[in-house]
Amino acid sequence: MSNFTKPSPNVTIHRIIPSNHKESSNPSEEDCVSDTSSATSYNLLVERCLEILVDTFNKTIGLDDLELSSDEDSSNLRKKIIPDINLTYERLISINMRELNILLKDLSKKRRMEIKNIRRTLKNRGYVADSRTRRLIENDEIEKEIQLMNKKKEQVSEEINANKFRLNVIIESCEKILHSIDKYDKAEELKAEVKATVMKECPFTDKEMEKTFLNLAT
């Protein structure tokens, strides 16, 4: 989606080394740099160099990297133009294949592949950028969610404390009632009845509160 949303100021240039090069050549730099005086070694050098060059340039991925390299300023890399088809990079990735193929039809097969590879690479660049952005956003959201849950947790804690306070107030009210009842006949019988009711229906888990209440009713 957001290709080119973040043109980097530091664009690096990479190039594939075809895998069949892996063990084929191991000319330490000295071979190529320092020993260019004698004719024979020169020829050997040339042979070797050509071997490498031909091999390298034979690959269709040839010059994409150079074309993909950053401009001097690179902040408007998206404005770079591919001369063969007169399209900016920005346009190259937004155009659809149907139209692109029309533009490409007169170019060599090699060049067609090159341009398509440029397109692919540019698209990849965007995908990765999107992927990274997405990850950042997701992390932010999770962080916010955690903060929100913490807030809610505090609210709930406060609610619990408020409820406990109310319970205590009510228990104290009951205490008053019970003490008041002491003045009357049959108070013991009544208190016992109340205690039985409470014990049966109210499974206390808060030990202190339980003790308080039972003390009231004894």
Q: What is the largest CA-CA distance in the chain?
A: 132
Q: Using CA atoms, how far apart are residues 24 and 1, in angstroms rounded to an integer? A: 42
Nearer to DNA, 131 or 155 (CB): 131
Q: Using CA atoms, how far apart are residues 87 and 105, in angstroms rounded to an integer? A: 15
Residue 150: enclosing H or E segment and its boundaries?
helix 109-181
Q: Which of 10, 19, 20, 218 binds a second copy (CB under 8 A)?
A: 19
Q: Which of 7, 21, 117, 121 binds a second copy (CB under 8 A)?
A: 21
Q: Which of 120, 151, 176, 211 binds a second copy (CB under 8 A)?
A: 176
Residue 156 Cβ, how far from DNA at the closest point, in Å?
34
- When computed from its CA atoms, the radius of gyration of the chain, rounded to whole angstroms, is 41
For 44-62, the DSSP string reads HHHHHHHHHHHHHHHSTTT
Q: Using CA atoms, how far apart are residues 75 and 7, in angstroms rounded to an integer? A: 6
Residue 4 near a second copy by CB under 8 A: no
Nearer to a second copy, 15 or 94 (CB): 15
Which amino acid belongs to residue 206? D
Fill in the DSSP letter of residue 99.
H
Site for DNA in 132-171 (CB under 7 A): 132, 134
170: partner contacted, choices a second copy, DNA, none (Cβ within 5-8 A by kind): a second copy
Piece of 25-33, 122-130, 149-157, 193-201 that binds DNA (CB under 7 A): 122-130
Collapsed DSSP state (helix, strand, coil) of residue 87: strand
Q: Which of 46, 102, 128, 142 binds DNA (CB under 7 A)?
A: 128
Residues near DNA (CB under 7 A) are 1, 6-8, 10-14, 16, 61, 64-65, 68, 96-97, 116-117, 119-125, 127-132, 134
